[in-house]
Amino acid sequence: MHNTVSPPTADAALIERLEAQARVIRRDIIKMTYTAQAGHPGGSLSSADILTALYFHVLRLDPKNPDWPQRDRFILSKGHGCPTLYACLARRGFYPLDQLYTLRQLGSMLQGHPHKGSPPGVETTSGSLGNGFAIAMGRALALKMNTSTSRVYVLLGDGECDEGIVWEAAMAAAKYNLDNLTAIVDRNRLQNDGNADEIMPLDPLDEKWRAFRWHVITIDGHDMCAILTALDAAKATKGQPTVIIANTIKGKGVSFMENNADWHGRAPTQAEYEQALAEIGGE
């Protein structure tokens, strides 16, 4: 066993607040993809708890000053999960909430995959997989050169780890001892064409990262307490970058979307939309 974090007792009120916030984000994801009749609900829902923890507790941010130099940087390398990012940014006040439902419409700030600065708070263009992670590594290196205390967080999909550039960047992050860089792998074990274990087996994924000289933490990516604890441990790790392998469920929170690759890139019908919102609750 290697650095598997058991959730300790955490601030119960904080956990409760973040769990409630994650329900709001999940509702937003369903509403956005339903309104757009496009997008990627499955992988957005699997990362909802992780992004909620980051945006509503961990990241040092100023929504009124999105380019504040001292901010922490979050990069959504799995750019197709952008409904989650857009919802978090709107709910944190980076841009007006009523813009959320313009996803993928002509003239909208909310592009089908993230474009830097659009909406405010999107740090990096992403969506062509693997590249956001390499950009995150470059930014972490630049911040080190500038002796900045800002941290860089980057979320990858597990299918994304098929890309060679991920491992090129992983080597580089270890070479330059980028302990200001934390990667989180949304390990939902499904990718576009189906079961990730069949399409391109990644196991042992933790051993792969360890062989690339990363500090590895494995958690349940829907356990808010475990997420916070792992992010704390990553921050405390010196001399090497940390990866958190977050075991998640694709489509988490909506029974008929859970563990179903068909929901990688399709939008709900009206009946599915209503059922999804009812299951998520929190209204």
Partner 1 sequence: MSRLWPRSGVSEMQKPIPTREAFGEVLAELGKEFTELVVVDCDISKGTRTVYFAKAYPERYINFGIAEQNAMCAAAGLALEGKLPLISTYAVFASMRAVEQIRTFICYDNLNVKIAVSHGGMNPSTDGVTHQASEDLGMLTTIPNLTVVAPADYYATRVLTRAALAWQGPVYLRFSKDPVPLVYTADDTFAIGKGKVLRDGSDVTLISNGDMLPVAVEAADMLAAQGVSVQLIDMHTVKPLDRELVLAAAQKTRRIVTIEDHQIHGGLGGAVAELLGEERPTPMRRIGLRDTFAESGPFNALLKKYHMDADAIVLAARELLGK
Residues that bind partner 1 (CB under 8 A): 115-116, 123-125, 128, 130-131, 134-143, 145-146, 164-165, 168-169, 171-172, 176
Task: Report the nearest approach of partner 1 to the CB of residue 172 (Å).
Answer: 5
Token pair in block for residue 13:
């009120």
CA 103 to each of CA 5, 139, 221: distance values in angstroms, whole numbers, following the listed order:
36, 27, 26
CB of 78 to partner 1, least distance (A): 15
Take residue 159 and report the two structure tokens written for it: 């299918």
Which residue, 135 or 280, is less far from partner 1 as judged by CB? Answer: 135
Residue 141 Cβ, how far from partner 1 at the closest point, in Å? 7
**C-beta of 146 vs 195, nearer to partner 1:** 146
Nearer to partner 1, 15 or 134 (CB): 134
Q: Which is nearer to partner 1, 160 or 272 (CB)?
A: 160
∠ Cα 221 37 251 (to 5°): 20
DSSP letter, residue 109? S
Minimum distance from residue 181 beta carbon to partner 1 (Å): 10
Q: Nearest distance from residue 150's CB to partner 1, in Å?
A: 9
Of 62 and 67, nearer to partner 1 (C-beta) is 67
Distance CA(84)–CA(78), nearest Å, equals 11
Maximal C-alpha separation, the chain: 53
Nearer to partner 1, 23 or 115 (CB): 115
Residues comprising the chain, all counted: 283
For 12, half-sphere exposure in the C-beta direction (CA atoms, 13 angstrom radius) is 0
Sheet containing 215-220, strands listed edge to edge, beginning at the edge strand earlier in sequence: 73-76, 152-157, 181-187, 242-247, 215-220
**Smallest distance, partner 1 to C-beta of residue 86, A:** 18
Alpha helices in 54-130 (DSSP H): 82-91
